[in-house]
Structure 1
Amino acid sequence: MRYVCGIILSLLLFSAPGKANSPIAVKAVVIEDVLADYKNFLNGRNPLSIKDFSGPYSRRDVIELILFQQALTEGGLHTPVILIPMPTYQRAIAELEKGYADATANPVWETDLPEASTWKSISTVDPGQFVAGLYGKPKKNC
């Protein structure tokens, strides 16, 4: 939920009174393999209508991409989102920093974006809220 709120708050970047100042489209960078799975997951469906995120090609990155688009629309931005494929995470950040894209379609680590070059939404994950680990079966028969 905080991820969605953060994206909605980021709409301040794009919102301005009157249609004349509205962007024609939002250009968002997305890693190529995420984009491929996203297209396979959608299978022709409109990302704005997705409510059930289960099924083939469903993964965190794909779901975040769909939620990104839904949050922009819920926040009142009704312009197209142009997804720009990038070969790597680092390249996506570089393109954002250069101003070739308006946003990243997936979250990035705050420390990967220099303060002076990009605008950041509020943090969507509180310190200590995120846990990463390695998971497997306690006993594996070989």
Structure 2
Amino acid sequence: MLLRLAYLTMTTTFSFLGLLPRTNRDKEIEILVLRHQLMVLQRQVTKPVFTRADRLLLAGLLHRLPMDKLRHLALLVRPDTVLRWHRDLLRRRHAAASAPRGRGRPRTVRSVRMLVLRLARENASWGYRRIHGELAVLGIKVAASTVWSSHITAVG
């Protein structure tokens, strides 16, 4: 979907660049022709189907227009629908940004866990506090409770 949106953005950008050398009269004629074709299609198609990318593009382009101008445009959907799409877009963006991340403490790195097990195996008389101290000397920051839980599995 992201690739399709990027494709639509690029094609729209290039079509806008193609409008630069045209005169205002040529652009107005093209707009009238496109509006007429849109009216012909509206008579033939009962209900158009918009993809998610289509909705995003229309909502992004049309949400800044005032409602009275939106009502005068020849659109395939009602202006209220475009505004609803824009609200949904903002709601999803906010929901994604405020979604809770993973719960609890992150997992211990496997190499640190293996080092704790190795130290416990090679030094059977050491307790978890001593192993925790040795890891601190080595510059490895890990909670003592993590060392204890790993140490229990090695001893037990």
TM-score, scaled relative to structure 2: 0.21
Higher relative contact order by CA 8 Å / sep ≥ 6: 1 or 2? 1
From the two aligned structures, give the one with the greater strand fraction: 1
Larger radius of gyration, structure 1 or 2?
A: 2
| Between structures 1 and 2, the one with greater helix share | 2
TM-score by structure 1 length?
Answer: 0.23
